[in-house]
A and B are shown apart, each in its own frame.
Chain A
Amino acid sequence: MTTTLSPATPLLAVRDLSVAVDAPEGLRTLLDSVSIEIGRGEVLGLVGESGSGKSLLCRTLVGLMPSTAIRRTAGSILLGGQEIAGANETALQAIRGARIGMIFQNPTSHLDPVMRIGDQIVEGIRFHQGLSREAAKSLALDIMGQVGFTDPPRQFSSYAHEFSGGMRQRAMIAVALACNPEILIADEPTTALDVTIQAQILHLLLDLRTRRGLSLILVTHDLGVVAQTCDRIAVMRHGRIVETGAKRQILKDPQADYTRTLIASHPSMPAKLDAGLAVAHSGEARQGAGRPLIEIDDLAVRFPAGGGLFSKRRNFSAVEGVSLQIWPGETVGIVGESGSGKSTLARAMLGLTPASSGHVSFDGASLGLQRAEALRALRTQAAMVFQDPYNSLNPRMTIGETLAEVLSVQKKIPAAQIQERVGELLDLVELDRNFAYRKPRTMSGGQCQRAGIARALAIDPRVIVADECTAALDVTIQAQIVALFRKLVATMDLTLVFIAHDLPVIRSLCRRVIVMHHGRIVEEGLSEDVFAHPREAYTAGLIDAIPDIDPDRPLSGRSTP
């Protein structure tokens, strides 16, 4: 921190800000008397679940309303002592970017896909700092270096789609820094990223704060992220600030009930661990003699990569030399960064992706040798739950139709009982029976994921493979879905293969954990052992990178990619 204003003269002060939308039934309040302050070089964490108004608040600060029907009804926004609420468009354009910059959750959709990364950085420099083309370019290369691009002169000419998610977020930060802002609003900047990449991006943001005296507003639903990075926290819910104060004070001694719930539902909290292990042990009891349900022997899955008419075709190994046995009644977690081969392994397990070499057997039938038989067994006894709850449900079918379709195809129960069974399935996943008549687009992410789980249960499976099924959900919803899985595993005779990049979720749900890296299994064992005493440096790094809710534990992970 280079300079710090005294709290009496904050850089940005929002007082009693209210925002409402013109709805057919009259004005509906979206933000209700919100007051926040941020000093120079300070990091403010804005926490709350989706729909709490965090993003709307940020956009209101720079006058970028998501719709013309939404407007500010009261309150003031003081930037450096100057009123900017209600300023005209020209004045706001001079503030946006140049004084208050923004980065967003999804860099892929916010970066211009048909413009070179370098040109997008140069655009801001030239517009706000009025430099010549050459000067702007050399400054852009400098900024690219600052945010961790390894080869700025070459990467200047690259397009967004040529980078990984983490690098795109760095590019987005570079584009924001090009305008040289005093305050940077980071709206869920790491939600879409792996833990290790998340740690790198958070490091970068903190580093920039220190070097440039930047103030940060970090919007997140993850209290762990806040605990590791922020000076102060503001907790939002239903458009109100329910609690605000210094980080330690809020985490150690939360006043509002909602803050307490939020802290309790953080996956790193130990209470969940015990419950998870209780389930795991009951699973262990069931597992005895007999053969493994899924047996994988020296599996490799390779995809053709690159090459073409004039160059030699190369293969990319998604999974290489993996051997694994999954016993009936087990809960197995597979963790690893994205690109580590988790999802490919899961798909190969279910016969959705052919093995390049090695064997996969389901219930004793080999997918390679007795393909028809094994597939028949798989399709009637194994089910998958997908990452994206919206897009994995047919938007034109009601949930009831989706479930009934599975039931009638599987023919495990007579047609007359299908409607009754649909109701039972909805009960199982704790959805109201009315949801049978609703379509995915009228439902929240958590409700859609419950429907997705109901669809998996509809085939009455022996094994469920859940692929990153909580990654797209809020932390509170995530906790509910994990609790649902825990209940299902405990009450039904179910084997669960749970794939996630989120280690705390695995730790709390699975008895056994498998760590994957570059397509290989680097470590496996009982969750409690692996998490307490990781043998491999890679596993230790993953565990280290989890943002812990304990503010005294430093944020780890490297700052450079």
Chain B
Amino acid sequence: MLHRYRFILTRPLQFLPVILGVSIITFVLVRLIPGDPARVLLGTKVTPEAIANIRAQFGLDQPIWQQYFYFVKNLLQGEMGRSITFRIDVLQLISTRIEPTLALVFSSVLLSVLIAVPLAAVAARNEGHAVDHAVRIISTFGIGFPSFWLALMLILLFSVSIPLLPVSGYGNTLSEKLVHLVLPSLTIALSLSTVLMRSLRAAMIDWLTSDVATAARARGMPEGIVFWRHVVPNAVVPTINLLAVNIGWLIGGTVVVESVFALPGMGQLLVRAIFSRDYMVVQGVAMVFACATVFVNFLADIATVAADPRVKL
């Protein structure tokens, strides 16, 4: 069976053109935004000489293709240039900001799965009954409410009315960090779990009425075994890719949630970098996001191959 996993060795080669494409697009797009990093940095009352000085310092006075050439050259050497506003190495900057974002994505996905699987199971096994309708109505709310609003409501409820959890920030110790992650993760999980729940519920209902389930029942298997041993393993297969697509979206989507909860992560960094036209940081963060998305989809491919013996990649 090991030959089915051979793509793990070859697939990363296909990532190179994707990453290259992303680098070109972010590089060009970020320079199409009106405004000049030097002018943003130095303010309005400034001599043209000072601006030219800063531009020369960061190589912004050179033709764009040459700038890109240096960008790629540096990238291959493991460098992303210097931030104009923070005045430190971009890679170093990102490394201090990556932990909250990773923690947020991981805890949101975990929470989403923990919410989605039991709800989908209850809804699917009681299809058409009151529980099913209730779950579906709640899930419609989850999809309907925008995350910034949901975040504010959660803060109002759990930090202001009932002061259980902190309003914002991150903290230093592990327990502090975990406490600070509860509301941001819940904000994301409330909408992500509904997407997963709907897909899982539909797949579970399909498999509950499938020939596989009928055959298991005809062998005298009780409904619980039919469900957890035959229905669930088959129903999760299509949800794996859905989850991967959503994690990709989520990595970019942390921007809003990190801003609302003042989490010092990559999303927040990206927002500040865009406002200050800090090209190097925007490029760097975009590259990290792109690589992360590609990597998550790669993991999803491995998971799909593991979950479904028929899949060949």
Contact = CB atoms under 8 A, between A and B. Distances in A.
Contacts of B215: 102, 104, 110-111, 172, 175
Contacts of A95: 220
Interface stretch (B20-28, B65-73, B302-310): B302-310
A424 interface: no
Interface string B216-235: 11111110010001100110
Interface string A247-279: 000000000000000000000000000000000
B212 interface: yes
A237 to B, nearest CB: 25
Interface of A: 62, 64, 92-98, 101-102, 104, 106, 109-115, 123-124, 127-128, 157, 159, 161, 172, 175-176, 178-179, 308-310
B233 A115 contact: yes
B229 A123 contact: yes
12 contacts: A64-B214, A94-B220, A96-B220, A97-B220, A102-B215, A112-B233, A113-B309, A113-B310, A124-B219, A159-B310, A161-B309, A178-B219
A176 B215 CA distance: 9
A181 B27 CA distance: 69
B219 A96 contact: yes
Given A111-B212, A161-B309, A64 B6 contact: no
Which one of B230, B233, B309 has the greatest number of beta carbons of chain A within 10 Å? B309
A112 B219 contact: no
A272 B308 CA distance: 48
A97 B220 CA distance: 5
Given A114-B234, A115-B233, A101 B211 contact: no
Nearest to B218: A102
A104 B219 CA distance: 12
B210 interface: yes
A362 to B, nearest CB: 36
A92 B211 CA distance: 19
Interface string B199-219: 000000000001110111111
Nearest to A66: B214
Contacts of B135: none
B14 interface: no
Interface string B30-57: 0000000000000000000000000000
Contact of A62 (B218, B221, B234, B309): B218
B237 A114 contact: yes
Contact of A128 (B6, B211, B214, B220): B220
A110 B220 contact: no
Contacts of B222: 93
Contacts of A123: 219, 221, 225, 229
Nearest to A94: B220
Given A97-B218, A175-B215, 15 more contacts: A62-B218, A64-B214, A64-B218, A95-B220, A102-B219, A104-B215, A110-B215, A111-B215, A112-B233, A113-B308, A114-B309, A115-B233, A128-B220, A157-B1, A159-B309
Contact of A309 (B10, B212, B214, B310): B10
A309 B218 CA distance: 44
Contacts of A109: 210-212
Top 4 A-B residue pairs of the complex, sorted by shortest distance between their CB atoms: A97-B220, A97-B219, A96-B220, A109-B211
A94 B219 CA distance: 9
A110 B212 contact: yes
A161 B310 contact: yes
B311 to A, nearest CB: 10
A106 B217 CA distance: 16
Contacts of A308: 6
Nearest to A159: B309
Nearest to A308: B6
A96 B211 contact: no
Contact of B220 (A93, A104, A157, A309): A93
B309 A112 contact: no
A110 B230 CA distance: 11
Interface residues on B, range: 20 to 34
A102 B220 CA distance: 10
A16 B212 CA distance: 31
A96 B10 contact: no
Contacts of B218: 62, 64, 96-97, 101-102
Contacts of B211: 104, 106, 109-110
Contacts of A309: 6, 10
Nearest to A68: B128
Contacts of B237: 114
Nearest to A105: B211
A172 B229 CA distance: 17
A62 to B, nearest CB: 6
Contacts of B230: 112, 115
Contacts of A172: 215
Contacts of A124: 219
Contact of A114 (B1, B6, B220, B308): B308
A309 B219 CA distance: 43
Given A93-B222, A96-B219, A176-B219, A114 B214 contact: no
A418 B233 CA distance: 52
A112 B220 contact: no
Contact of A112 (B6, B10, B234): B234
Contacts of B217: 64, 96
Nearest to A90: B222
Nearest to B234: A114
B132 to A, nearest CB: 15
Nearest to B306: A114
B221 A97 contact: yes
Contact of B307 (A64, A101, A114, A161): A114
A101 B216 CA distance: 11
Contacts of A178: 219
A54 to B, nearest CB: 15
A93 B309 CA distance: 30
B118 to A, nearest CB: 21
Nearest to B207: A112
B210 A127 contact: no
A112 B1 CA distance: 18
B81 to A, nearest CB: 36
Given A110-B212, A111-B212, A179 B219 contact: yes
A157 B2 CA distance: 13
B305 to A, nearest CB: 11
Interface string B172-204: 000000000000000000000000000000000
Interface in B126-168: none
Contacts of A64: 214, 217-218
A484 B293 CA distance: 58
B212 A112 contact: yes
B219 A101 contact: yes
Contacts of B309: 113-114, 159, 161
A179 B212 contact: no
Contacts of A127: 219-221, 225
Nearest to B216: A112
A193 B102 CA distance: 53
